[in-house]
Amino acid sequence: MRVAIASDHAGFEQKQQLVDFLAQDLKLDVMDLGPDTDDRVDYPDYAALVARAVADGSVDRGVLVCGTGIGMALAADKVAGVRASSITTPDFADLFRRHNDGNVICLSGRFVDLQVNEEILKVFLTTEFEGGRHAQRVAKIMALD
């Protein structure tokens, strides 16, 4: 599985650690779309990079980290083909995959510990969409693009 990841300055430190977690622990093919420093940046610019990589099929899933995860989710979800949400617990990550077929997860670098975000990512990247009755609901979401 190919995964794209990016952050803003508020999520930079955890993003660096999550790149290693994805590549070394989960053995995934990781595309780090930046930034390379913790200089202040605007989160929509980085949300767009990851969201477009998911939408055009360059990667299978996207991961974004900002202060809360909220701004990244608002921006990424604007890109057609993307289903993005701010996720702060492993249980929500599980339902985000099983019911919503989420493809871009947005994490909080300021309010959620690294270990919890690692668990969230593990669930997000290993849980399958259930389909069935959820498929027509997801199709209705995508018809709004």
Binding stretches for ligand RB5 (CB under 6 A): 8, 10, 43, 66-68, 70-71
Closest approach, Cβ 118 to ligand RB5, in A, equals 19
d(CA 14, CA 108): 9
What's the rounded Cα separation, in Å, for the pair 13 and 41? Answer: 14
Task: Choose between 28 and 72: whose C-beta lies nearer to ligand RB5.
Answer: 72
List, in sequence order, the alpha helices (H) in the chain: 12-20, 43-55, 70-76, 90-98, 114-126, 133-142
CB-based closest residue to ligand RB5: 71
Tokens of 109: 């670098």
Counting Cα atoms < 13 Å in the Cβ hemisphere of 67 gives: 8
3-class SS at 25?
A: helix
In the bound state with ligand RB5, the residue whose beta carbon lies nearer, of 68 and 103, is 68
What are the residue numbers of the active site? 66, 99
In the complex, least distance from residue 43 CB atom to ligand RB5, rounded to whole angstroms = 5
Closer by beta carbon to ligand RB5, 28 or else 41:
41
Report, in Å, the least distance between residue 46 CB and ligand RB5. Answer: 10
